[in-house]
């Protein structure tokens, strides 16, 4: 099977999505989705009338969506770009802000997509290890001259970096772009969006996939100074001008406008996270302090792989990473209270050898 790969394509490092087995119905706690359906206002917005207009291209500028995002976050529409999920926005950022003489720095333990996208554009990568306790120390990035990518809260640890530290990083070198990936910020973290008004070099990326129950709709966005957004648009219009489809535009706008539903979902996840962390600790797990919609935890009895496989056999999917610093741990998405009860019950069975 000849693939005709270019030298650059041969060097790619494709991302492996969380498994989506179709053999049976699982309690799915492996891809950090929301356990809640989208807001009823989203369902109403996705009307037959909207579908009837699908023969027409979407607005390439995504105005209905960027206006809603801008309003919610207290910025101007020129400070917002929307994408086909935040992965696409991140790819735009790698192309816009990295290249010859401008490498990318990111942590050894973080969203593994940064590595894939660095390879996609053939960029120089500087991988900076987290500290032994999995904390990210911005001092380790202060002298890096290229573009910095930080997930905050970090994945798969769930741990937070303080806004004060990120402010210090952005300020330390105004010639260098700092990209903060806030995919998981809505579950108790503090956003850096207000800092974008102060620092022209700070880009904040967010997604509708977690806190706004639209992983299936593929909507992400970035907020930053108008110059950064213009740079991202240069890439977008070189890649895929009509990048967000019509239905996702209206769904995203409706989701952004339903603040009450959003708050209720985020609060429920935080309550379930606290309950799950306690329950895990009671059965011998060490749980890292999480501000995300998942916890990263290791058992004092089972190896990471044993726990992952045992849960899968018992109908519960979690994510396990076969990597040196991660392999003792499980990344467990926070679902509904019922789902978390099933997880704990199955882990108890396994610990007790039943």
Cα-only R_g, the chain: 20
337 binds a second copy (CB under 8 A): no
77 binds a second copy (CB under 8 A): no
Compute the residue count for the chain.
354
Beta strands 178-181 and 202-207 are parallel
**Given the complex with a second copy, which of 1 and 352 has the nearer CB atom?**
1
263 binds a second copy (CB under 8 A): no
Query: What is the distance between the alpha carbons of residues 268 and 187, in angstroms, rounded to a whole number?
Result: 9
E strands in the chain: 27-28, 80-83, 104-107, 125-128, 147-151, 178-181, 202-207, 220-223, 285-287, 294-299, 316-317, 329-333
Query: What is the distance between the alpha carbons of residues 176 and 178, in angstroms, rounded to a whole number?
Result: 7
**Given the complex with a second copy, which of 129 and 227 has the nearer CB atom?**
227
Residues 175-194 interacting with a second copy (rule: CB under 8 A): 177
Choosing from 240, 270, 336, 341, the residue that interacts with a second copy (CB under 8 A) is 240
Residues 79-108 interacting with a second copy (rule: CB under 8 A): 84-85, 87-88, 91, 95-102
Residues 131-170 interacting with a second copy (rule: CB under 8 A): none
Nearest CA to 110 out of 74, 152, 70 is that of 152
Query: Least distance (Å) from a second copy to the CB of residue 264?
Result: 14
**Given the complex with a second copy, which of 16 and 143 has the nearer CB atom?**
16
Query: Least distance (Å) from a second copy to the CB of residue 300?
Result: 32
4 binds a second copy (CB under 8 A): yes
Give the burial class of 255: count Cβ atoms within 10 A of its Cβ; 0-12 exposed, 13-18 middle, 19 or more buried. buried
From residue 191 to residue 230, the character string flagging contacts with a second copy as x (rule: CB under 8 A) and all else as - is ---------xx-------x---xxxxxx------xxxx-x
Contact predicate 8/298, CB 8 Å:
no
Query: Least distance (Å) from a second copy to the CB of residue 274?
Result: 21
From residue 27 to residue 66, the character string flagging contacts with a second copy as x (rule: CB under 8 A) and all else as - is -x--x-xxxxxx---xx--x-x--xxxxxxxxxx------
260 binds a second copy (CB under 8 A): no
269 phi and psi angles, rounded to 5 deg: -65, -40
**Given the complex with a second copy, which of 207 and 299 has the nearer CB atom?**
207
128 binds a second copy (CB under 8 A): no
20 binds a second copy (CB under 8 A): yes
Query: Least distance (Å) from a second copy to the CB of residue 254?
Result: 11
Tell me 99's DSSP state.
Answer: B
Number of shown-chain residues binding a second copy (CB under 8 A): 89
Residue 152 corresponds to which tokens in the numbers above? 């905050």
Which residue's entry shows tokens 């053939």?
122
């Amino acid at each position: 099977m000849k693939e005709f790969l270019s030298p650059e394509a041969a060097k790619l490092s494709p991302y492996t999505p969380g498994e989506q087995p179709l053999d049976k119905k699982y309690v799915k706690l492996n891809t950090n989705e929301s356990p809640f359906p989208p807001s009823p206002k989203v369902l109403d917005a996705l009307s037959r009338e909207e579908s009837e207009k699908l023969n027409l291209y979407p607005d390439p500028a995504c105005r209905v969506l960027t206006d809603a995002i801008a309003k919610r976050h207290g910025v101007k529409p020129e400070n917002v770009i929307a994408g086909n999920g935040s992965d696409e926005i991140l790819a735009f950022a790698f192309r816009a802000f990295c290249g010859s003489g401008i490498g990318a720095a990111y942590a050894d333990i973080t969203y593994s997509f940064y590595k894939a996208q660095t390879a996609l554009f053939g960029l120089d990568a500087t991988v900076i290890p987290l500290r032994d306790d999995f904390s990210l120390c911005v001092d380790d990035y202060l002298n890096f001259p290229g573009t910095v990518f930080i997930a905050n809260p970090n994945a798969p640890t769930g741990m937070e970096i303080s806004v004060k530290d990120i402010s210090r990083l952005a300020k330390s070198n105004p010639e260098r772009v700092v990209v903060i990936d806030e995919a998981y910020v809505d579950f108790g973290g503090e956003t850096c969006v207000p800092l974008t008004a102060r620092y022209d070099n700070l880009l904040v990326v967010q997604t509708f996939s977690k806190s706004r129950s639209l992983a299936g709709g593929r909507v992400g966005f970035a907020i930053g100074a108008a110059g950064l957004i213009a740079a991202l648009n240069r890439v977008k219009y070189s890649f895929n001008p009509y990048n967000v489809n019509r239905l996702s535009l209206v769904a995203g706008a409706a989701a952004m406008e339903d603040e009450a539903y959003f708050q209720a979902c985020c609060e429920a996840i935080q309550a379930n996270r606290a309950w799950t962390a306690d329950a895990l600790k009671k059965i011998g797990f060490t749980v890292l302090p999480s501000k995300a919609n998942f916890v990263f935890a290791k058992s004092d009895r089972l190896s990471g792989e044993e726990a992952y496989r045992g849960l899968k056999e018992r109908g519960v999917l979690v994510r396990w990473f076969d990597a040196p610093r991660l392999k003792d741990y499980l990344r467990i998405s926070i679902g509904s209270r019922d789902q978390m009860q099933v997880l704990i019950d199955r882990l108890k069975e396994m610990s007790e050898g039943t």
